[in-house]
Each structure stands twice: as C-alpha cells, then as structure tokens.
Chains A and B, each alone.
Chain A
Amino acid sequence: MKFGVLQFPGSCDEVDALQAARKVGDAELIWHGDRDLKGADAIVVPGGFSYGDYLRAGAIARFAPAMESVISFANGGGLVLGICNGFQVLCEARLLPGALLGNANRRFTFRQVELEVADHNTHFTRACGAAGREGADERLSIPAKHSWGRYYSSEETLKGIEENGQVVLRYAQGQNFNGSVADIAGVRNEAGNVFGLMPHPEHAVDELVGGSADGLQIFESMRLSVEGAYV
C-alpha cells in the first residue's frame, strides 16, 4: 500500500511521518499546492505549524489545494490520519468534530504520554497490542509536543461522540496535561475513516530513539485495513 504525506509551508514532522509509513508500506510526500494525491491509499496530515499557525492552528491549511483533494478522498471513504497540527487541520476542515485550544497549563509541553486505547476495532488501532509489549493491548506510550492541544467540543457534540464510540484514544490517568475534555487524545469521524490525535505516533516507531515503538501500531493498523485483512 501507499501512504501520501502532506507537506505545508511550516510542516515539520512530515519526514518522520514518511519514515514511519515506510516501515509498513510505500510513502510519498504531497506538496500542499498539488491536487494530485498520487494514487495514495491513505493520507497522513502531519504535525508542524502549517502557514505559521496564523489566525488559528490549521485554519489556513484547510483551504490548501491538497486539502480539497483530501476532503473528497475522505468523503469517499479513504483513510486519513491527522497528527497534532494535522489533527487541528482536520477539525478546522470539519472532517472531525470539535476543536483544539491552548493547553490548560499555558505552556508548550513536550513529554512522553501514556494513552489508553478506547477502541481496538478501528482502522487505526486494530493492530494495537501486536507489539508483544507487556500491557501493549491496553496502552500506547508515545510523545506529545504542543501548545494548542486541548481537545474541546460542546456538551452536545461530546454526547454524540461518546454515544457513537468515536473516542479512539484517551490520556491515561494523570496524563491529561493539556486539559482535554473527557481525557480525549484521539477521535474519529462517525464513518470511522478519519482519525486525529495530538500525540505523535510517527516519533515512536523505533525503540532506540522513540522511547517505544508503539506508534508503529497505528500505521500497521492502517496497512491492515487498506489491504483488506479485516474489512
């Protein structure tokens, strides 16, 4: 399978995303000005500071030509993963519910976080637990680094998200440093083909430098879904 990784002016995690994707399949960068998704089977919207985060994080990136194609791709059922700034872009594009606000602790924070997999039966988490690590079926340990990562949705929207089972990842007890509502670290759309999270799975794909390789399970899950192993 082939991943397409978007690249905006101000992206900074697209190379790590590319390398993470290449551990499970092929991957190619897609420049923000291109409408051609190059035949990608799944799209990654990476982290960084697209268009300088001017106005609001992700507010301008959502109108990029490449994003127009990604929105059509998503509406057609294609798998889309948004990481950090990519999550913000997908929320601004209304592909995902809610919004990301400034951290409650008012600080840029960079730390390893423990996440609970709230749902293993998604296109993005079905391989979680395959790493053989003790407790890996329940938790992922991956880094987070952001200033604007406080997930927020209105009470009414949150009720719908919970009822539909759209929460995919939650910060484990004591790990919700940014003040996200209901400890939500990652959420999917109702159809299940679009997923965004603030922590960075692409930075945790090699135990030597990533603290863990848990993040790889997200990319591996996407590969399994695209290749039809579980459809």
Chain B
Amino acid sequence: MRARVLIRPKAGILDPQGEAVERALPALGFAGVANVHIGRLVELDVEDPSQIKEMCEKLLANPLVEDYEVQLLDGGS
C-alpha cells in the first residue's frame, strides 16, 4: 500500500519558513497571499498501513509541535 504522510507545524506556532515565503510572493507580484505554512511530505510503501500512526508518533512527526495527516493511495510504486 502506498501511503502519504503530510506533516505540518501545529497551528499557532511561529513558522519562519512560511513567513519568509509569504513575504517573497508579493515581491514577485503575487498579491492576496496569506497564511502560508510549510511542512513535510513523506511517501512510503507499507505492508501494514495500520502501523503508520505509530510510525508518525515515534519518528515521522514530533507530536509536540507538529500535526500529521495520513493518506492511503491506491497501489504501490
């Protein structure tokens, strides 16, 4: 099973990367951009998708400062 894990900084925690991009976009002429946040994307093939939550809690994310979302995709790669 192909899976995708989206990892984001928790709401309310200062995100300097997001802020930098949010300031860079208007400088390139893109107006009306707000609330830019930058996280990580982990894609993986797993035999047992029920293990993904534990993988996230233990390694892929730091639950103290990050939220994660698991998406299961069709097929492997």
Contacts and interface: CB of A to CB of B under 8 A. Distances in A.
A150 B13 CA distance: 11
Interface string B34-64: 0000001000000000000000000110101
Interface string A147-161: 000101110000000
A56 interface: yes
Contact of B16 (A60, A106, A152, A153): A106
A179 to B, nearest CB: 7
Contact of A102 (B17, B40, B62): B17
Contacts of A24: none
Contacts of A103: 16
A154 B64 contact: yes
A99 B65 contact: yes
Interface in A69-123: 92, 98-99, 101-106
Contacts of A56: 62
B20 interface: yes
B31 interface: no
Contacts, number: 33
Interface residues of A, number: 19
A55 interface: yes
A57 to B, nearest CB: 10
A59 interface: yes
Contact of A106 (B17, B40, B62): B17
A106 B20 contact: yes
A103 B16 CA distance: 8
A55 B59 contact: yes
A103 B20 CA distance: 12
A92 B62 CA distance: 8
A101 B13 contact: yes
B48 to A, nearest CB: 20
A152 B20 CA distance: 20
B11 interface: no
A190 to B, nearest CB: 16
25 contacts: A55-B40, A55-B59, A55-B60, A59-B59, A59-B62, A60-B59, A92-B62, A98-B64, A99-B64, A99-B65, A101-B14, A101-B65, A102-B16, A102-B17, A103-B16, A104-B14, A104-B16, A105-B16, A106-B16, A106-B17, A150-B14, A152-B13, A152-B65, A154-B64, A179-B14
Interface of A: 55-56, 59-60, 63, 92, 98-99, 101-106, 150, 152-154, 179
The list of the 7 closest CB pairs from A to B, nearest first, reads A106-B16, A99-B65, A99-B64, A102-B16, A106-B20, A99-B62, A104-B16
